[in-house]
Structure 1
Amino acid sequence: MTFVAAARSSPLLAERFEDDRPLDQAGWDEVQRAAGDLLPLAASELRYCSPTPRSRATGDALGYAPLVQLALRDCDMGRWRGLTLGEAMAREPDAVDTWLADPRSVPHGGESLLGFISRVGGWLDTRPVEEGGRIVAVAEPSVIRAALVYALKAPPSTYWNIDVRPLSSTAVTGRAGRWNLRLDRPSGQPSRT
């Protein structure tokens, strides 16, 4: 299973909770630059995407023709939907502190971080596994972070320490309950830090 992070729809500092905006011009330009590395994933037997406009557009632009998966939607942020973290902090600083510290909390009235990780992990565990079969899913960076925390059986607080960049790819191998993170780079590719 290879996850591809959707191209951006806004400057990174203006990322909003449950951002439903389409790709901006910078996002389209990024897709064009990354296409050479990501196009081979179009040969995957199963191709999925989260329901956001930027995930669908990224998958379509890369030739994946992905099937939308509601389980790959972003975390339900309740009344914080559409806000940046800074805006939520300015309105409800104590609630944001609670949310960041307790993965079971839902001060925004939406979904807990633990519930989000479990939902994405449940989807991951239900993917058909065939020897040598390939699956690709284009999703929001937050969804990929949740999938990695689940796959690695890491504490939920690990979610905050995973950086998923737009149009990066991350692979997990294995099957339900036995996932492994695979880190590799195609030969001849320079490392990016």
Structure 2
Amino acid sequence: MLVTLIAAARGSSLLDARFGDDRPLDVAGWQALERAVPALLPLAAAELRYCSPTASSRQTGVALGLAPLSQLALRDCDMGRWQGMTLQEVTLREPQAVEAWLADPRSAPHGGEPLLAFVSRVGGWLDTRPVGEDGRVVAVTEPSVIRAALLYALRVPPHAYWRTEVHPLSVLSISGGPGRWSLRVG
């Protein structure tokens, strides 16, 4: 099976990125998507097409001609009481909690989902995808979900999550199946 994950076009500037951001695409996001459509359009040929439930993921998927099915398992990490806040806002209010969250992948000082649980949830989605006749799956989701999928597929330590960048409209392809995923470059 080949799973291709596409990072949704942006719904806000990087400086205004908020935990659990569900805003629709902004002007810059639509413009970037318009430029990317020709290169990403062939992915719409995949038999199985999904997206996270956020507005930006749905809009990106529709613009790419995917007509994607929304999947709760592809939602961003549950950030509990930090939901809707920027990292800067949270750091000003709860500096020790942010430090604990970044240092320990099992911690959830925000009352939401620990990083390890998030990675496991995304990995569970990967491992349980049905395989269509063409063996291809495509999904549009948040960059954080793609980072989690990368960690799960490669079985790298959780701290690698903080050292991985995924930009809007980036594409990650992994192949294989449960317990035997490989990164595909190119």
Q: Structure 1 length as normaliser, TM-score?
A: 0.93
CA-to-aligned-CA distance 1:17-44 (integer Å, 9 cap, x gap): 0001110011011110000110000000
Please show how residues 39-58 of structure 1 align to structure 2 within 5 Å: 39-58=41-60
Q: Is the 8 A contact 2:46 2:134 kept in 1?
A: no
Q: 2: CA distance between counterparts of 1:95 and 1:59?
A: 35
Q: Partner amino acid for 2:97? A: A
Higher RCO (CA-CA < 8 Å; seq separation 6+): 2
Query: What residue number does 1:96 align with?
Result: 98
Q: Is the 8 A contact 2:47 2:132 kept in 1?
A: no
Deviation of 1:130 after TM superposition, in Å, equals 5.7
Q: Partner amino acid for 1:122? A: G
Q: 1: CA distance between counterparts of 2:132 and 2:52?
A: 22
Deviation of 1:129 after TM superposition, in Å, equals 3.5
Q: 2: CA distance between counterparts of 1:10 and 1:130?
A: 34
> After the TM superposition, which of the residue ranges 131-140 and 39-48 deviates more from structure 2?
131-140
Q: Is the 8 A contact 1:117 1:150 kept in 2?
A: yes
Q: Partner amino acid for 1:133? A: G
> After the TM superposition, which of the residue ranges 158-167 and 121-130 deviates more from structure 2?
121-130
Deviation of 1:128 after TM superposition, in Å, equals 2.2
Query: What residue number does 2:67 align with?
Result: 65
Please show how residues 41-190 of structure 1 align to structure 2 within 5 Å: 41-129=43-131, 132-184=134-186
Deviation of 1:110 after TM superposition, in Å, equals 0.4
Root-mean-square deviation (CA), in Å?
Answer: 1.0
Q: Is the 8 A contact 2:48 2:132 kept in 1?
A: no
CA-to-aligned-CA distance 1:129-160 (integer Å, 9 cap, x gap): 36751110000000000011001011111111
Q: Partner amino acid for 1:77? A: M
Deviation of 1:120 after TM superposition, in Å, equals 0.4
Q: 2: CA distance between counterparts of 1:14 and 1:177?
A: 37
Which segments of 5 or more consecutive residues in structure 2 lack a partner in the other structure? none
Q: 2: CA distance between counterparts of 1:176 and 1:159?
A: 21
Counterpart secondary structure, 2:89: helix
Q: 1: CA distance between counterparts of 2:67 and 2:132?
A: 21
Counterpart secondary structure, 1:114: helix
Q: 1: CA distance between counterparts of 2:133 and 2:172?
A: 19
Q: Partner amino acid for 2:18? A: R
Counterpart secondary structure, 1:7: coil
Q: Is the 8 A contact 1:129 1:175 kept in 2?
A: no
Q: 1: CA distance between counterparts of 2:185 and 2:164?
A: 14
Give the paired residue count. Answer: 184
Q: 1: CA distance between counterparts of 2:132 and 2:19?
A: 35
CA-to-aligned-CA distance 1:107-127 (integer Å, 9 cap, x gap): 000000000000000000001
